[in-house]
Amino acid sequence: MRFLSRARARPEIARGDENVFCFDHSERFGNHELHDLDGIGAQPLLMRVLIIVCIFGAATLGGCAESKDTTSSFDMSEYRKMIERQKNEQAAVETTESTAPKLTPEEEERAGDTEAQRRNFPMAGLHYTKALNADPTRNSLRLKLGQLMLHQGLFDAAETQFKELLTRDPNSAAAHQGIAQAYLQQGKLQEAEVALTKAIALDPSSWVSQNLLGLVYDQQQRHSDAIAAYKEALTIRPREPNVLNNLGLAYALSGDHETAIQFFEQALASGSNSPKLHNNLGMAYVHRERYVDALESFKKAMDEPRAYNNLGVSLLAVGNAKVAAACFEKAIELNPQYYEKATDNLRQARQAIARLPNGPSGPQATGAVSCP
């Protein structure tokens, strides 16, 4: 069974509720997640979730908060309101700065760190920029600014800062790692590979760079190389759940779902309770026909109706349309008022059953079944 399942005759997609098969590359990173998985049919089941490094460190942000996995869909209107509010705050500071005492570069940097701790990233960037304008030689501050741009998804701006830093300090492993992340987020995989290779040569102790290199290889479909990179990261940081998750993903992508399960379970044993991880494990269980275990994993990632829906999506992806239909029916039974996804998915499962040899009355479609 191919891991990336693309239906040739089905233009529609069955929709899951969470990220089935998701990558992490964080050390307590802030998550940029995709929700409402488009999982079957014209879309691959794999959703590559690229997560920005929380890189300010204890000296600036007091350490990064643990990654939080949300279950709500991204709200663009709320995002626009937040950006507008931050712009207004920045404009207010700019209009009053003529009357405020002029800060030294050190004071601007500390003010930027304070705003970054408050997650007011535009204001933090403003303070960092002022400090750099006053003293362009502050390489550590330029690194912060580049990483701040990464955190906001401003990848071109981040790339500019890291390039400037590398002209001043060509042997900055952190700058090579940072620009590699900017490249990776923009899909510039070859450039990201070159930058990460350089970062690792300069700092072989960085598990983050090895992990990022594994992500690059996975996106290049070089899963054996990805596995080697993740294992190298684990020699540096043996029980890192994010790397264990990614290693499991690499094995799943190469078709070895049994080994994938082992590493997903190790990631859970290492202390992770990420919904993404539970979903990944559930999908791997489906590939090994361990449907009861799969359902239990999905339940740990979301509520019961959505767990049944995701089990159905996964079953439909591996060609088990009849049991998938039973799972969609169970999801609708548990949540009949508003569960539109399961209803749409059930329609697609029934269409798949109708396409079985001899139609819905054929040998593969007859007989009572139930969802695990």
The yes-or-no verdict on residue 63 having pLDDT over 60 is no
Band (pLDDT 50/70/90 cuts) for residue 92 is low
Residue 108 pLDDT: 95
What does the pLDDT average to over 40-62? Answer: 33
pTM for this entry: 0.75
DSSP labels, 286-324: HHTT-HHHHHHHHHHHS-HHHHHHHHHHHHHHTT-HHHH
Q: Is 44 buried (19+), middle (13-18) or exposed (0-12) by CB count in 10 A?
A: middle
What's the CA angle centered on 237, arms 35 and 214, to 5 degrees? 50
What does the pLDDT average to over 305-321? Answer: 94
What does the pLDDT average to over 90-94? Answer: 59
What does the pLDDT average to over 315-340? Answer: 90
- Residues 301, 282 contacting (CB under 8 angstroms): yes
Phi, psi of 312 (to 5 degrees): -60, -45
Q: Is 337 buried (19+), middle (13-18) or exposed (0-12) by CB count in 10 A?
A: exposed
Residue 360 pLDDT: 53
In sequence order, which ranges of the chain are alpha helices (DSSP H)?
58-61, 76-96, 105-117, 121-134, 139-151, 155-168, 173-185, 189-202, 207-219, 223-236, 241-253, 257-269, 275-287, 291-301, 304-317, 321-334, 340-354
Provide the percentage of residues in the chain whose pLDDT is more than 70. Answer: 70
Tens digit of pLDDT for each residue in 10-30? 223 355 555 445 555 443 232
Average pLDDT, the chain: 79
Structure tokens at 219: 């996106």
| Rg of the chain, C-alpha, whole Å | 23
Tens digit of pLDDT for each residue in 248-286? 999 999 999 999 999 999 999 999 999 999 999 999 999
Name the least confident of 65-74, 91-100, 104-113, 206-215: 65-74
